[in-house]
Amino acid sequence: HNTHEAIKRDELGLNEVRSHIWNGIVFINISGDADPFEVVFADLLKRWAEFDVPVYHGGKDSIIRFDLKTNWKLIIENYCESYHLPWVHPGLNSYSRLEDHYHIEEPGKFSGQGTYVYRQIKDEDGTVFPDFPNLSEKWDTAGEYITFLPNVMVGVQRDHMFAIILDPVDVDRTIEIAHLFYAAPEVSPTLRAKNAEQWRVVFEEDIMAVEGMQRGRRAPAFDGGRFSPAMDGPTHIFHDWVAGQVETYRAMKEAAE
């Protein structure tokens, strides 16, 4: 090792940035002053404790990407509720109906929806994906879909998970990227492709809804955009979270000035 008295090696290394990996998502705390990931998201980790196992990315054909002409918040609103299913997702709604869903509401923490009738897809020979180990009976037919950060949406089912990251490029443009994960490192390629295509169709069907909301009430074919008091609870939790963050930022800015 070469040394020189004028070179202070301890001062020349890269700055360490706190990070945490959960279900294939890398979380970064640049300031370094946040509570540990396990503390901040303790309630979500407890809810999905049965899925605290290794997960395996499906590869390049398990990445779904959209360039959307809409604000990122409208995508979250759409994801959090299920009452758009009959109109936006007729295929999905044929077996996972509006009345088969339930709300997930944890104010200030996360919100979303769940279904009681998740249905595994099968290959031509009847093959299905391997299940995550030691799941309770609830997950035989259930699936849950949650937003727990402003631009991160996650979903779990008995045999695979997904994570959706939103990149807010502009006030009216968002890049949406979904990644699919499985319980085993090797799964049927044809079944994996079939699953990716199924989710691609579902996510693509939402484009009409979120881009229509971006255009607004006076846009062609937009019929008024009514909210449902009975069904929109999870979305309102997201609204409250965003409003709270804006207020916190405003207070910090005023204090700094």
Write down the pTM of the prediction: 0.84
Instruction: List 162's β-bridge partners, or say none.
Output: 155, 180
Stretch 64-83: mean pLDDT: 92
User: How high is the pLDDT of residue 86?
Assistant: 87
User: How high is the pLDDT of residue 257?
Assistant: 80
Backbone angles phi, psi at 86, to 5 degrees: -60, -30
Structure tokens at 132: 């995550």
User: How high is the pLDDT of residue 83?
Assistant: 83
Closest CA to 171 of 132, 214, 107: 214
User: How high is the pLDDT of residue 178?
Assistant: 97
Give the range among 118-122, 137-141, 151-155, 227-231 with minimum mean pLDDT: 227-231
Taking only the tens place, the pLDDT of each residue in 213-235 is 888 755 555 555 556 666 778 88
User: Who wins on pLDDT, 245 or 57?
Assistant: 57
Taking only the tens place, the pLDDT of each residue in 90-104 is 888 888 888 899 999
User: How high is the pLDDT of residue 48?
Assistant: 96
d(CA 105, CA 43): 12
User: How high is the pLDDT of residue 179?
Assistant: 97
In percent, how much of the chain has pLDDT > 90? 56
User: Who wins on pLDDT, 82 or 196?
Assistant: 196
Mean pLDDT of the chain: 89
User: How high is the pLDDT of residue 129?
Assistant: 94
Taking only the tens place, the pLDDT of each residue in 4-40 is 888 888 888 888 899 999 988 999 999 888 899 999 9
pLDDT band at 159 (very low <50, low <70, confident <90, very high): very high
Q: Is the pLDDT of residue 152 over 90?
A: yes
